[in-house]
Structure 1
Amino acid sequence: MPLICPKEPKILYETYHGVFVNITYLLKAEVKRSFLAKSVFKAQQFIIQYRPVRPAETKSEISFSISPETLQKTAKERISIPRFLITGVLDSTETCVTQPFTGSLTVHHTEVPIKSIEMQLVRVETCGCAEGFARDATEIQNIQIAEGNVCPKIAVPIYMTFPRLFTCPTLITKNFKVEFEINLVVIFGDDYLVTENFQIMLNRTS
């Protein structure tokens, strides 16, 4: 049964469950019976997911470096920050939602022992409102990629899968947007946090 509206063609976006944006689809059926009998009604939710398309031959691998100098701090604030250097690479910032997000990082040196290294998946929903546009970011997944003081100069793999119901291909429309970001969080032994943010583009490719 093709889902086509010939009078007013509309785009059917992929199923998505968010905080301010929800894209759901229902099939409703009703059997009307005689005057004295009650009608029978049934509703069933279903999922829309597009066929994968062939990806374009583009390479979006990015390298990153995290140190006190790269943080958005004043010169006075940097004095109290422990000295450290972390470098790494993300294999791609354009990723298929059914494929893992991969890369690696290396801790070169640090004055304060590292307690944990975590990776957060954040969804950013933007909706139209009376004042213009409201933008809200919520964390939907947090994984730990290293625990304890990481051995220096050894590559630590980054591997994260995307949750099916809470992610979808990056969606930008006239009325709303659903975008995704990655936060790389380094927690030191004294509970000092360092966060590096990466914007990613999700798609559905074969």
Structure 2
Amino acid sequence: KKSQEIRTSGRIGSGTTEVPFSMNLKQHGEENLERFYETFHGADINIQYLVTVDIMRGYLHKSLSATVEFIVETDKADLLERPVSPEMVVFYITQDTQRHPLLPELKSGKMSTQCSLLDPITGELTVEASSVPIHSIDIHLLRMESILLGEKIISETSLIQTTQMEMSVAT
């Protein structure tokens, strides 16, 4: 918890008074022991940052207070401290993930395992042959939340986004 006094006590005239302020979360040239994670609202886990403003009005008057959430996004330059090449992972769609038999067909793809929230998630899907016509391909983005509770790991999966690609065959 950090506190910062904006203005010393005294009387404020009637009418609207604006008091500008700013706070640095990271001090340049100073060792930062605290790590700031991106704001996250999950089903079981939340990471949020709040600004609380307290106005002390003396002994005879009740203090005023307000709290507002603000969003923290990781600076792209701070994502990786050392250069790491984006790794592409290869995946295969196997028979147990399909309703129709694959026969000798091969469906595979690859996608990057590291991405920024500011950039699109990229990858590719290869269908070499299909005994059944493909009308569309659905890509689901899932978030997996895990928490250690005693000696058990409890996980929950949430659907974040679904993208459907319509397929058309030129005749």
Residue 26 of structure 1: CA displacement? Answer: 0.8
1:87-102 equivalences in 2 (<5 Å): 87-90=108-111, 92-102=112-122
Residue 51 of structure 1: CA displacement? Answer: 2.1
Structure 2: distance between partners of 1:117 and 1:145: 5
Select the structure with the greater relative contact order (CA < 8 A; seq sep ≥ 6): 1
- Cα 1:112/1:72, change in 2 over 3 Å: closer
Residue 121 of structure 1: CA displacement? Answer: 0.5
- Cα 1:59/1:15, change in 2 over 3 Å: closer
TM-score (norm 1): 0.55
Partner of 1:85: 106
Gaps of 5+ in 2: 1-22, 27-32
| Pairing 1:2–2:24 present | yes
Structure 1: distance between partners of 2:113 and 2:101: 29
Give identity over the alignment, percent.
Answer: 31
Partner of 1:15: 39
- Cα 1:57/1:35, change in 2 over 3 Å: closer
Structure 1: distance between partners of 2:91 and 2:58: 70
Partner of 1:49: 73
CA contact (8 A) 2:95 2:101 kept: no
Opposite residue 66 of structure 2, the aligned amino acid is K
Residue 82 of structure 1: CA displacement? Answer: 4.8
Structure 2: distance between partners of 1:123 and 1:47: 19
Larger CA deviation: 107-116 vs 16-25: 107-116
CA contact (8 A) 2:95 2:102 kept: no
Q: Deviations over 1:141-196 (max 9, x none)?
A: 1110234xx549xxxxxxxxxxxxxxxxxxxxxxxxxxxxxxxxxxxxxxxxxxxx
Higher CA-based Rg = 2
Structure 1: distance between partners of 2:84 and 2:67: 43
Give the number of equivalent residue pairs.
139
Partner of 2:149: 129
CA contact (8 A) 1:107 1:151 kept: no
Partner of 1:116: 136
CA RMSD of aligned residues (A): 3.2
Opposite residue 24 of structure 2, the aligned amino acid is P
CA contact (8 A) 1:126 1:133 kept: yes
Opposite residue 88 of structure 2, the aligned amino acid is E
TM-score (norm 2): 0.65
CA contact (8 A) 1:82 1:112 kept: no
Structure 2: distance between partners of 1:93 and 1:64: 12
Structure 2: distance between partners of 1:25 and 1:103: 33
Residue 32 of structure 1: CA displacement? Answer: 2.4
- Equivalent position to 2:48, from 21, 24, 28: 24
Structure 1: distance between partners of 2:55 and 2:43: 34
Gaps of 5+ in 1: 153-206
Q: Deviations over 1:32-73 (max 9, x none)?
A: 22444332111121122232226624242244443xxx3358
The structure with the largest strand share of the pair is 1
Q: Deviations over 1:98-136 (max 9, x none)?
A: 111123323322222223211000111111224522111
